[in-house]
Amino acid sequence: MEKSKNERNEGARELCAILAHNVKELRKRKTLSQEKLSEITGLSVNEIGRIERNKTITGLGVLHALAKGLDISPERLLDPRLDPAAVLFAGSHWRQCSRTCRRRNGSLFCR
């Protein structure tokens, strides 16, 4: 059964709300200003502000730039259960660990 346009729009609005929350929380946890995130991602400060306030529909290119700038996968950036503190730990551990690290079922482990 095909979804109506309103149902599709509602799904997009939900994803954008999740993205808005996660971008803002991750940016703050990483102690990045909107200006610094703008420099890292190549997006304008105004665009980052609109995303964080959930005032825009974000395309895939912008999602990819944000994910790369925040050192997280695009899938995790859209996860409604994202824990910004856990992402911060995993990201720094991943870069600093001298062992072979892997992700399994969303968790980080070393071998």
> How large is the C-alpha radius of gyration of the chain?
15
Beta bridge partners, 109, equal 102
pLDDT tens-digit map of 57-76: 888 999 999 999 999 989 98
SS3 call for 61: helix
Cα gap 50→54, rounded to integer Å: 6
- The per-residue pLDDT for 57 is 85
Scan for tokens 């825009």, then name that residue: 56
pLDDT tens-digit map of 12-56: 888 899 999 999 999 998 899 999 999 999 999 999 999 999 998
pLDDT band for position 81 (cuts 50, 70, 90): confident
- The per-residue pLDDT for 8 is 67
Answer for the pair 19, 58: CB distance below 8 angstroms, yes or no.
yes
